[in-house]
Chain A
Amino acid sequence: GDSVTQTEGLVTLTKGLPVMLNCTYQTTYSPFLFWYVQHLNEAPKLLLKSSTDNKRTEHQGFYATLHKSSSSFHLQKSSVQLSDSALYFCALSDRGSALGRLHFGAGTQLIVIP
């Protein structure tokens, strides 16, 4: 079945350093991947999305590239800020670009320290 794997549960970094949060997936459909960010006591918000192989997508300094060959959609940022501290979820649509449920990874808690 469809699934998403995020290997890091917790990432702690010093401000200004680069970060990469891992996301791999399994699906029988054409993949449509998302990254959501959830700050403490807030709603998850869409950060990035992509269904195009090998094309980088960017938003708010974060970027990710869908690689179908390796079933990956890793989230990166070149220089993290204190305000980036949050829970990050990778998600997979189970119907490609059509409306349907999302399968979420377990989430990665990012903590940025001064």
Chain B
Amino acid sequence: NAGVIQTPRHKVTGKGQEATLWCEPISGHSAVFWYRQTIVQGLEFLTYFRNQAPIDDSGMPKERFSAQMPNQSHSTLKIQSTQPQDSAVYLCASSPGQTNSDYTFGSGTRLLVI
């Protein structure tokens, strides 16, 4: 079991460029969550999918951020026109899909916008 795989581990992007972050959930897990971690805000919920369908995107900034789950083996988080305040560690977690107690986090993608 390789766990939740996130790529890239580190990404540096220039202000105004696009960034796409990838998450591969644990095989057989039907729910995928995205969180953002910063020193100031801590861990903030962004969005989640269940059986590839978007369930709750209440934490997603309405502009520039989008997430997709085109198949059960990966999800993407896309940030358009990146800004310095988007710099954070973006964490993906997966769950078998029945209860909250089964979250497994990936190691995250550290995004730096310069």
Contacts and interface: CB of A to CB of B under 8 A. Distances in A.
A44 B3 CA distance: 12
A103 B107 CA distance: 19
Main DSSP-derived SS at the B contact region:
strand
B114 interface: no
A95 B45 CA distance: 14
B42 A106 contact: yes
A112 interface: no
Interface string A45-85: 11001000000000000000000000000000000000000
B48 interface: yes
Interface in B83-105: 91, 95, 97-101, 103-105
B99 A98 contact: yes
Contact of B101 (A42, A46, A103, A104): A46
B53 interface: no
Interface residues of B, number: 27
Nearest to B9: A41
B99 A43 contact: no
A44 to B, nearest CB: 5
B18 interface: no
19 contacts: A36-B105, A41-B107, A43-B104, A43-B105, A44-B91, A45-B105, A46-B101, A46-B103, A91-B43, A95-B100, A97-B99, A97-B100, A99-B31, A99-B95, A101-B45, A101-B56, A102-B43, A102-B45, A104-B35
Interface of A: 32, 34, 36, 41-46, 49, 89, 91, 93, 95, 97-107
